[in-house]
Structure 1
Amino acid sequence: MSYRFKEARLQAGLTTVQLAQKMGLTQAAVSQWESGKKVPGIETISRLADLYGVTVDYLLGRDIGSSNVMMSTEILDASTLPILHGEPVWESEHGWGIVNAIQKNVVFVAGQTIPFEELHNLRVLPPAFTVGYLPHGAPVARENLKDYTQLWIEPILPDSFSRDELRGWYKIFSFYVENEYGVRFMFDTYGSKWLAFEQKL
C-alpha cells in the first residue's frame, strides 16, 4: 500500500523536524512512517489528517473508487494478512485495526498491537448484527439528567465485552448514575465515558 504521509507533509509545508515537534514525537518516528518501515497508530493517523487538513483515507492512499478492500465477512486465514498491509480489519474482541505486514501485527483502535499468530477471528468486515441493538433516539442532554429517575446507559468503551456488561438501566442521583450492582458513572464524565437514553429499544 502506498501511504501519503510524506506527500501530505510536504503539501503542508512542514519539515520532518517541525512535524515531530507539533506531534510531540521524534524525527526518527516520522522518517520511519514516511519510508514505510513502520505504520503509525490509528489515533496518530487521525491527528495527522487533522493537522494536514486531509482525510484519513487520503493518508492511507484509499481514494474514492479505487479501494481494493476485500468485501467479505468470512474469517481471514492468518497467512493472507501480509497482502492486506495497511487495510482495516475487524476482530470481535478488539474491534477495528490496521494490518502492519512489516511488523507482522495488527494495531487496534484502543492501542493494542497483536502479532498475526495470536489472532484467529479477523475479518475484513464485521459480521451482520455485531451490534445487537441500539437505543432509540438521541441521548438525553446532560443538563436534563436530573429530570429522570432512571435512564438506559451506554458506556463509551473500546472493549465490546465491557460495554455489554456495563450497559443497562441506572438510577439517577444528585451527581452520578448507579446500577443495581453499584456501578457508577459521574455526571462530569457524561459524553466522554457514557451516554444516557430514555429507552433501549
Structure 2
Amino acid sequence: MFCPNSTAAVDQVEESNVLVTSVVSCILSIIGAVIILLTYYCMESIRNTTRKLVTVLSVADFITSAGFLSATVAQQYTSVNKPFFDTIYCELQSAVTTYSSMVSFFLTVAIAGYLFFAITRNAVVGKGFYLASNIVSWIFPGIIIGVALQYKMLGRATSDPIGTGPGAGYVVMTGTKQPKTVHCFTCYLLENFGKSVVTF
C-alpha cells in the first residue's frame, strides 16, 4: 500500500525516488499482465491448466499494480480532498491491494503444487484442481479482508512515514472495537501473509 503520511518529515529526494520506482514498476507489471492476458486470448493452443492459473494470477497482479499506481498518482492531488485521501481512499486502496496480493500468493502456491505433481508424480491434474484453486484463492482472502475492514485494521497509522513495506497495508490493534479471537487471528494472517506477498 502507498498511503503517505503528509505530516512526516521526509527527504524530498527519497520521496521522489520512491514515487518514480513505484510508477515504473507498476507500469511494467501492468504491461506484463496485459501481455499474458492477450496471449491467452489469442492463442487457443496454449490454454492448459497451467496457463489458466498463470492468467488468473496475472489478473490479480494487474489489480495490485493498478492499486499501487492509483495511490501514487492520487498522492499528487491530496490537497484537493485531503480528508478523503487520508481516510476513505487510503483504507479502500489498502483493502484492494492487500486482497489482490493475498490472491496472488494463494494462486502462486497452487501453481507450485500443480507443477510439483505434474513433474514429480507424472500426474495430470484435472479441472477440479483449477476450480478449487480459484475458489480458495479468491474467497479466503476476501474473508480475511472483510474481518480486517470490520476491525479497522486497514489503512495507515498516522505515525507511519511515507514509503512502502509489509506493514503499510494494515494497522494492527488500532481499531475502535475490542480485539477478539477472530481479530487476533486476522492480525496473524495479515502479518505473515503480508510479509510474503506485499512487495511494496
Which category describes the TM-score, using the shorter chain as reference length? under 0.3
Higher share of residues assigned helix: 2
Query: What TM-score results when the alignment is normalised by the length of structure 2?
Result: 0.23
Question: Relative contact order (C-alpha < 8 Å, sep 6+): which is higher?
Answer: 2
